Amino acid sequence: MMQDVLEANEPIAQPGLIQRISTSISRLYQHYLDKWTPHTASRWAFTLALIFGFMVRIMLRQGWYIVCYALGIYHLNLFLAFLTPKIDPAFSHDDDDGPGLPTKANEEFRPFMRRLPEFKFWYSVTKSTLVAFFCTFFQVFNVPVFWPILVMYFITLFCITMKRQIKHMIKYKYLPFSLGKPRYQTQENSSKPPAH
């Protein structure tokens, strides 16, 4: 009992200097990330400029093709997750359960829910491009490869994967883009003669 009282009177240890600096940097980073979240066009413009800068560096330095290939495969994987619905209809056993897009005018509108939301897609693309850019400063990642084979293999992989994704979209009748709630005309409005 006496030991519990002594332990209760001991001062609580403050976090160390490194932990406090790390926490403040983390909060500042999250603050700016949260401020940039609603600005979709500027986020993607920055990321595309970053990818363009990475590609220019690859072409000028004529190396790090394996890093570029790995980045391309990772971006393709992210893009597929972005295009795929959160609940894949191929794995859904009951056609009546789960969210789905309406196919008839009298069905309730449900927006397309992605497996990988747009912000996470952007964030992952940006982070991976920064990591790949960083890797181009180290000679250990400059593995000698015959780059035209990598380009042809990536193009083939892209075409096969996109063909499979488009077939999946056609089979399960969904589009990966929602442009807002659709407006349907009622029978009464469409059958009225135009006013003179």
Tens of pLDDT, residues 7-46: 556 666 677 889 999 999 999 999 999 999 899 999 999 9
| Residue 73 pLDDT greater than 90, yes or no | yes
Query: Whole-angstrom Cα distance, residue 68 to residue 127?
Result: 14
Cβ atoms of 192 and 129 within 8 Å: the answer is no
- pLDDT tens, 76-88? 999 999 988 888 7
| Residue 56 pLDDT greater than 80, yes or no | yes
Residue ranges of alpha helices (H) inside the chain are 2-9, 17-36, 40-61, 65-83, 118-135, 147-171, 187-191
Kindly state the average pLDDT of the residues 87-99: 62
Structure tokens, 146: 């015959």
Contacts of 156 (CB under 8 A, 6+ apart): none
Confidence band (pLDDT; 50, 70, 90) for 48?
Answer: very high
19-28, 53-62, 96-105 — which is least confidently predicted?
A: 96-105
Confidence band (pLDDT; 50, 70, 90) for 99?
Answer: low
| Residue 1 pLDDT greater than 90, yes or no | no
What's the chain's length in residues?
196
Confidence band (pLDDT; 50, 70, 90) for 171?
Answer: confident
Structure tokens, 97: 């359960």
Kindly state the average pLDDT of the residues 66-70: 95
Query: Whole-angstrom Cα distance, residue 128 to residue 49?
Result: 14
Query: Whole-angstrom Cα distance, residue 168 to residue 155?
Result: 20
Query: Whole-angstrom Cα distance, residue 82 to residue 80?
Result: 5
Q: Of 174, 178, 156, which is closest to residue 84 (Cα–Cα)?
A: 174
Kindly state the average pLDDT of the residues 110-117: 78
C-alpha distances out from residue 117 to 37, 102, 162, 183, Å? 12, 20, 19, 25
Query: Whole-angstrom Cα distance, residue 120 to residue 128?
Result: 12
Q: Of 158, 172, 17, 21, which is closest to residue 89 (Cα–Cα)?
A: 172
| Residue 190 pLDDT greater than 60, yes or no | no
Query: Whole-angstrom Cα distance, residue 152 to residue 25?
Result: 43
Structure tokens, 55: 């590609």
pTM of the predicted model as reported, rounded to 2 decimal places: 0.71
Confidence band (pLDDT; 50, 70, 90) for 163?
Answer: very high
Kindly state the average pLDDT of the residues 82-103: 66
Q: Of 107, 110, 120, which is closest to residue 78 (Cα–Cα)?
A: 120
Beta bridge partners of 114: 85
